Amino acid sequence: MSEAKAGHAEERARWRAQLREEVLWPAQRICDAHHHLWNHAGDEYFAAELAADVQDGHNVLATVYAECGSFYRESGPEEFAPVGETEFVVAQDHELLRILGRSLIRGIVGFADLTRGRAAEDVLRAQIEAGEGRFSGVRHAIAWDPHPDIVNHQRNPPQGLAAQPAFIDGVRLLGSLGLTYDAWLYHPQIPEFAALAKAAPDTVVVLDHLGAPVGIGPYADKSDEILAWCRSELTALAKLPNVRVKLGGIGMTVFGKGFHRLPVPPDSNAIAAVWGQHIRFIIDTFGPARCLFESNFPPDRRSCSYRTLWNAFKRIAEPYSQAERDLLFHDTAQAVYRFK
């Protein structure tokens, strides 16, 4: 890591450390339904960093890893390269067992090229074997936007990927193997996701990060308008019984809330004030049995600490019963990703 990038990482850590709240509801069981592990320069996040976060007061019993292109195989057939990421995550979970005295990563959402359609089964079977009981599904991002200010996913998906017949066959294949499909997209693509969910009714499909209501570029300063549009589309989407929604990603800078620019980190009350109404709308529309909270760390730590983020989620979930909270924070994730 360069000195400049190391210095930036230390600066952000000091920024987050300015605020340290008391943990709310410390006994609340949590499954962090979406996080990454990677070696991005200046933003490394491995087992040690994850362990430090989950030990910082909240009762995190399990996590679900979401693919991010980490540690692919560097030899062998190209289509099998993503199996290296699953092997890496299993090794990291073994390290977590050493640090924490228990396994933590109970689900792995990896990658397989779903544009191969049913031919992707060979890679999926290899992923299941490599996962040692943890491999739960695939995330193949479709995030695409025509505006130059919006950075499309690193795989550079084409416009309309979710409507390609081979891709639809790949998503159907996941369901036949007992695996889920996770989608990272931008909010204008929610109707495309709905069409895909309808075309693959036997596959549980998961909409990541609230459906990503973008707040930069052409979408800047239009939050009320965009969230109103999203609510209309999400209401229609909720009619499809195979859809689940991840509640998180709210610290990502692409959402345009500017938390990362504040002189001191926002507290959980401030975060809940910004996102609470929209997240509660999603919970009320889909029901707690179809919604699951996620940290999306480390991307979201640009805006706050792990402790503050989960406090914000708990403030947002305050109106719900304990049984509903258990679903939102733990049990729905366990059911979606099928771990014991």
Task: Tell me the domain boundaries of the chain.
Answer: 24-337
Average pLDDT over residues 134-149: 95
Q: Compute the distance between CA of residue 299 and CA of residue 303 in angstroms, rounded to an integer.
A: 8
What's the confidence (pLDDT) of residue 7? 65
Share of the chain above pLDDT 90, in %: 93
Residue 11's pLDDT band (boundaries 50, 70, 90)? Answer: very high
Q: How many CB atoms lie within 10 A of CB 226?
A: 17
Residue 279's pLDDT band (boundaries 50, 70, 90)? Answer: very high
Task: Indicate the range of 146-160, 211-225, 250-264 predicted with least confidence.
Answer: 146-160
For the chain, the average pLDDT equals: 96
Token pair 């990454």 is at which residue?
Answer: 36
Residue 6's pLDDT band (boundaries 50, 70, 90)? Answer: low
Residue 132's pLDDT band (boundaries 50, 70, 90)? Answer: very high
pLDDT digits (tens, 9 = 90+) for 53-77: 999 999 999 999 999 999 999 999 9
C-beta of residue 207 within 8 angstroms of C-beta of residue 230: no
Q: For 232, phi and psi rounded to 5 degrees?
A: -65, -45
Using H for helix, E for strand and C for coil, what is the string for the chain? CCHHHHHHHHHHHHHHHCCCCCCCCCCCEEEEEEECCECCCCCCECHHHHHHHHCCCCEEEEEEEECCCCCCCCCCCHHHCCHHHHHHHHHHHHHHHHHHCCCCEEEEEECCCHHHHHHHHHHHHHHHHHCCCCEEEEECCCCCCCCCCCCCCCCCCCCCHHHCHHHHHHHHHHHHCCCEEEECCCHHHHHHHHHHHHHCCCCCEEECHHHCCCCCHHHCCCHHHHHHHHHHHHHHHCCCCCEEEEECCCCCHHHCCCHHHCCCCCCHHHHHHHHHHHHHHHHHHHCHHHEEECCCECHHHHCCCHHHHHHHHHHHCCCCCHHHHHHHHHHHHHHHHCCC
What's the confidence (pLDDT) of residue 189? 98
Token pair 């005295």 is at which residue?
Answer: 101
- The residue that leads in pLDDT, 195 or 10, is 195
Residue 201 pLDDT exceeds 80? yes
What's the confidence (pLDDT) of residue 42? 81
Residue 35, burial from CB neighbour count under 10 angstroms (0-12, 13-18, 19+): buried
Residue 3 pLDDT exceeds 60? no
Residue 1 pLDDT exceeds 70? no
Residue 262 pLDDT exceeds 50? yes
Residue 108's pLDDT band (boundaries 50, 70, 90)? Answer: very high
24-337: what fold?
TIM Barrel (3.20.20)
Average pLDDT over residues 225-244: 98
Q: Compute the distance between CA of residue 337 and CA of residue 218 in angstroms, rounded to an integer.
A: 35
